[in-house]
Amino acid sequence: MPTFRMHTKFSVDPIRSTEAQRELEKRTMDHLRSEFTQVTWKHLSLLGPYEYIETFCAPNMDTAVEITEVVRSFGNAQTEGWPAS
């Protein structure tokens, strides 16, 4: 399966606590794991402009695009998806 990288930066919400942000991130990943069962995940957390750079294997580019769209809407985040080799 092709490999992709997704850069994720969650929107800053001054009302949302750190605990609430972690819960949102967990719910987003739970949703992705149940919706895209064929996808395998590797995670890399960062300090810097992105909270996460995640590497995942998906069957095709369309699936990778769907994943970034789900994270963008469900996780209230800015995402960028990139094919990786």
Q: What is the pLDDT of residues 7-41, one digit of tens each?
A: 888 776 666 677 887 888 888 889 999 999 999 99
> Does the pLDDT of residue 72 top 80, yes or no?
yes
Number of domains in the chain: 1
Residue-averaged pLDDT of the chain: 85
The predicted model scores a pTM of: 0.81
Domain that holds residue 78: 3-84
| Confidence (pLDDT) at 19 | 84
| Confidence (pLDDT) at 21 | 77
Output the domain CATH number for residue 28: 3.30.70.1060
Q: How far apart are CA 54 and CA 6, in angstroms?
A: 5
> Does the pLDDT of residue 49 top 90, yes or no?
no
| Confidence (pLDDT) at 29 | 87
